[in-house]
Amino acid sequence: MNRFSLTYLGLFLLLLSILSFFNVIYSYYFNLYLNIDAYIYTLIISLFLGFTFLIKKKTDSKISIYIKILTLITGYLILPLIISIPYYLSIYNISYLNCFFEAVSGFTSTGFTIFENIKHIDESLILWRSSSQWIGGIYFLFSIILLIDIFDDNLKKSLTNYISFNSAEIFKQSLKILLLYSILTLFLFIVLKLINIRTFDSFNLSMTIISSGGFLPFNNIDLIINSDLKKIVFSILMLFSYFSLFLTYNFFYLRKKSLNFFAEDIYLFIYLIFLIIVFFVFFNFDYNFSSILFSIASSISNIGISLNNTPNNLFFLFLILVIIGGSFFSTSSGIRFLKLYLLIKFSINELLSHIRPNNVYINRFNLLNTIIHKQDIYKYFLSVIIFIISLIIISSLLAIFNFNFSQAFIIGILTLMNTVNSSMYGLHDFNFSDLNILAKYILIIFMIIGRVELITLLIISKKFLFKN
């Protein structure tokens, strides 16, 4: 690995060592000595590797897109290896493949778990599961910035309002994102405490929400979210991983901001209101709209957790919401709403241009007043095609391992969208620990693909297969 890769991964290893240290302190404070050695070993290993990766004088002058992609993918392999150590050294006698599966699932904020009964796990390991999601969420935000040139040139222009892409400012800007991410986590924790959720559960849930993860500190969320007020508040909190990370940042400087700063979030808000109205009018059969609102927020944020009384007949609609996803610069997955909006607008304009050839139709964000170039439109088309190809591949592979078609299809969508299985998708009782070795490897690979997107793998393939 080159200098950039080592520095990038070294910083996250040091961050992981800090989380390990917190787990050691937590275990000592509450006399949870069963697994404390595992966190000490994780602290030593991550600290040693982090400083080792960072100690080098010479800096690379130019970083190619191939190096960035390989760095990102390497991180999704190396960091879960460290995260899996406490699982493997715990008293629960877990095979290393299951440990790595749990670590990848947490780090990619997917939420698939090999644990059948969470209440049998000690609190320190539950906290470690949530921490793996939290660091995975911040890693994903940094990966968006790292590969911004691949995904969307217009997004890069809008992000310059908050982030400097100057290499001299990279450390300062990184701290800015990390600080904002941490403050939002603290805010979520405080609000959860205010609605009378115990401290330990509030802390774990705050890390789950901000990272768009699926790990819970208990088996049944209905035992905690047991009133309409809690359902509504929790639904609103889940939207923090649906809207842009900078939405709350903008509110602090509201008087200095133009409408352009809120453009994507305004589109997402209109989309959300539309969904709420449609579901309230057409699908509120049992007058349990607070539960449906909970499922809407969980699906569009790609968290995926659900209540027991969510109507099972709406699972296909919730899956569509999962596929669409939320803001580009958030911890949610999905194809992204604005991409689909612009694709539809582009398609309509193309049809109208053939019907009325004398008219000129421009593809632009109405609120941003920014023209969207065809190059970006082609990227959006490619991302949709790649998703369809990926879904066909993973569904076909899972079908080989005795999955029925509907089950393979649903798990394929949830894996690629990094969304946890739950009752609203008809997979609440699905047991990942019983899967055979190859099926687990397939899910691990596609959980990572869901975060880095298959387009990055195609670029790497082009580099090595078609080089001169």
What pLDDT does 468 receive?
Answer: 47
Residue 150: name the closest of 366, 397, 454 by CA: 454
What pLDDT does 305 receive?
Answer: 93
When pLDDT is averaged across residues 93-99 and rounded to a whole number, the result is 93
Confidence class for position 120, pLDDT limits 50, 70, 90: confident
pLDDT at 124 exceeding the cut of 60: yes
Using one digit for the tens of pLDDT, what is the confidence trace for 369-392?
566 667 777 777 888 888 899 999
Of 82-86, 143-147, 171-175, 405-409, where does mean pLDDT reach its minimum? 171-175
Using one digit for the tens of pLDDT, what is the confidence trace for 246-305?
777 666 655 555 556 667 788 899 999 999 999 888 887 666 788 889 999 999 999 999
pTM over 0.95: no
Using one digit for the tens of pLDDT, what is the confidence trace for 406-427?
889 999 999 999 999 988 888 8
Give the distance between the most distant pair of CA atoms in the chain.
Answer: 77
